[in-house]
Homo-oligomer: A and B are copies of this chain.
Amino acid sequence: MENMYTYQQLYAFCVAIFAKMGCSDADAAIAAKALIAADLRGIDSHGVARLSGYVRLWQAKRVNAMPQLKIVHETPSTAVVDGDAGLGLVVAPYAMQVAIDKARNVGTGWVSVKNSNHFGIAGYHAMMALPNDMIGIAMTNASALVAPTFSVERMLGTNPIAVAIPAGEEPAFVADFATTTAANGKLEILQRKNASTPTGWVQTKDGHESTDANELKSGGSLLPLGGDREHSSHKGYALGAIVDIFSAVLSGANYGPWVPPFPAYVPMPENMPGEGIGHFFGAMRIDAFRTPDEFKQHMDNWIQRFRSAKTVEGEEKVIIPGDPEREMEIIRMKDGIPLVNAVADDLKALAGKFSLQFA
């Protein structure tokens, strides 16, 4: 069922595909690194499994392989970046670097982005702050799959939030999560197994409870973190809304039900109020608050105390956000990245289309 590939194999292949799309060598490398970070970290739904989707968006002329990225408005601590319809995988690292540069100057930097496309995993971009002794924040909106509390209409994307915080001896704290109970990738795993979802993940097109992993195909919706009103889905809805507003209403991108869909065959929404999809990035210099040494000692203390908390019987330990992904990255860098047949076949077809070799 599974096929193993080295990081280098997949990286070289992605670089070659992005180059075939017309990306510059530098952009192809930036995009490939961002994309495969998902596979390395075990978020298989957001990595090379989406490569052919990006290619189809380019073929449909929704992605510009040679964007002129630019700052269209700024203050000492903020900027709005126009992504010129480029790959989010290229636009996001550019915008995050703007945030980091501003933080270097005035303590923090905050960048809202319009006219972009899907950017892979949020955590990758947030983590760019870490080697600079900064806290990194990344979020993005996405096409609407999520029904707010009481709604049957899909109004929000899975709108993830990532926050990366440096520590000292301990590895960094890296939270990266969709603002829904479950991300779409979790549904895809259950679909492949013909399994049901727990309650609180999806609802039917009429807003009734459902455990059908295929519910979105018949007009149903993902549910905000919390699931239903009794379990505070209004909080997940508020979080997704904040991501949407910071990413798109601040920048001039599309928001809510008007965010462009990832599948190139889905028609664009009508009466779109902005340009492309939106992201939001932040960088905060640790030493804008206290000395990095002090901060890191206390982060180590925080992490060690939480990791050693007494657990429920049968559970080994309390997990620090980022632990599972970091451990996966070590394993996959060493042993390779497994791809299910469907993804491996998809990459082979892509290779054929561009007269390239794939493994």
Contacts and interface: CB of A to CB of B under 8 A. Distances in A.
A36 interface: no
Contacts of A175: 238-239, 241-242
Nearest to A112: B289
Interface string A90-119: 000000000000000011101010000000
What's the number of copies of this chain in the assembled complex?
A: 2
Nearest to A297: B273
A333 interface: no
A106 B76 contact: yes
A54 interface: no
A256 B77 contact: no
Interface in A283-298: 284-286, 288-290, 294-295, 298
A200 B198 CA distance: 13
Interface in A196-236: 198, 200, 206-207, 225-227, 230-232, 234-236
Interface in A126-160: 148-153, 155
A274 B302 CA distance: 12
B312 A206 contact: yes
A105 to B, nearest CB: 8
B310 A152 contact: yes
Contact of A232 (B225, B294, B318): B225
B312 A152 contact: yes
Q: Contact size class for A? A: 35 or more
A151 B298 contact: no
Contacts of A198: 230-231
A249 B73 contact: no
Interface in A247-273: 249-252, 255-257, 273
Given A150-B317, A151-B311, A317-B150, A75 B112 contact: no
A64 interface: no
A163 interface: yes
Nearest to A280: B289
A51 interface: no
A319 B234 contact: yes
A230 B227 CA distance: 11
B288 A78 contact: yes
A295 B253 CA distance: 11
Given A173-B245, A298-B249, A151 B75 contact: no
A306 interface: yes
B250 A321 contact: no
Contacts of A319: 149-150, 234
Given A75-B108, A155-B318, A274-B298, 12 more contacts: A75-B106, A75-B285, A78-B288, A150-B311, A150-B312, A150-B318, A152-B312, A177-B235, A207-B312, A225-B232, A249-B295, A273-B301
